[in-house]
Amino acid sequence: MKAVVLVVLALLAVPLGFSAAIAQWGVPWYEARRDASGLAPDPATTREAIIQVYGARAVRWRGIFAVHTWIVVKPADAERYTRYEVMGWGVDRGIPAVRVDRSGPDNYWFGAKPELILERRGSVAEAMIPKIQKAVQDYPWPNDYVIWPGPNSNTFTAWIGRQVPELRLDLPAHAIGKDFMDMPVGFSPSGTGVQLSLMGMLGGTIGLEEGIEINILGLNFGIDLNTPALRLPGIGRLGFPQERPGP
């Protein structure tokens, strides 16, 4: 039993320690850059419909453990993107957790450069945008935010994925909150598997996109079999680059 406990602790502590070592400890969060990263195509020259999902390290110490994720959409010939996300700031003062267009589609998240998790374009994206907008309206916790285990920003993005399974959205292991669901058994965020979750604190996922993932107190580790890689807390992914579903 001691050996099992030591192995589990190592599986959790080593990636979190590495994540802490590479975390950004620079300027105060309120002075950190929040300008555009250049990852979103210019709507003036890219007329086709676009859906993108981004993730960036959370603010301050939370970035050791988790990323903040959001989704942006641009219908065909639209002049601008619409950004959807959930934030905790102001919720205790009655501000809704779901925010629309708080900033640009691909802006730095308080100093952290975003990573493009998924992109869909063209007619396929155009058909999914109304479904995404409907899923935003139907989000079950529009006025609630809990850092751990959820509902939080990653709960919201995972909800969108479950409601629009055509996205095949595979959120990284360190998107803490993605496993928080309104029922103990359901589809995985990619829509390609099944998930067991006890309020986001304990459970597991098996899916074509997610592979096999175990959740212990909101920290996830597992293995991606589709595109071979380890799924680790604090790190997210270690292995072959993830293939983002295209049009």
Q: Where are the domains of the chain?
A: 2-239
Supply the pLDDT for residue 158: 98
pTM higher than 0.95 for the full model? no
Terminal CA-CA length for the chain: 49
**pLDDT above 70 coverage of the chain, percent:** 87
* Average pLDDT for runs of 10 along the chain of length 247: 58 56 63 93 97 94 90 98 97 97 96 95 98 98 97 98 97 97 96 96 96 94 93 90 61
CA dist list (Å): 193 to 4, 170, 200, 213, 230: 28, 11, 17, 11, 18
Distance, in Å, from the CA atom of 225 to the CA atom of 161, rounded to the nearest integer, reads 20
pLDDT value at residue 13? 58
> Whose CA is closest to 175, among 88, 246, 115, 98?
115
- For the chain, helix (H) and strand (E) counts, in that order, are 3, 12
216, burial (CB in 10 Å: exposed 0-12, middle 13-18, buried 19+):
middle
Task: Let me know: does 91 contact 80? Beta carbons within 8 Å.
Answer: no
Contacts of residue 232, defined as CB under 8 A and 6 or more positions apart, other chains included, come to: 15, 173, 174, 221, 238
pLDDT the model gives residue 19: 54
Q: At CA 218, angle to CA 215 and CA 149, rounded to 5?
A: 140
What integer pLDDT is reported at residue 247 of this predicted model?
46
Q: Which residues of 63-96 are buried (b: 16+ CB within 10 A; e: fewer)?
A: bbbbbbbbbbbbbeeeeebbbbbbbeeeeeeeee
Amino acid (1-letter code) at residue 200 = G
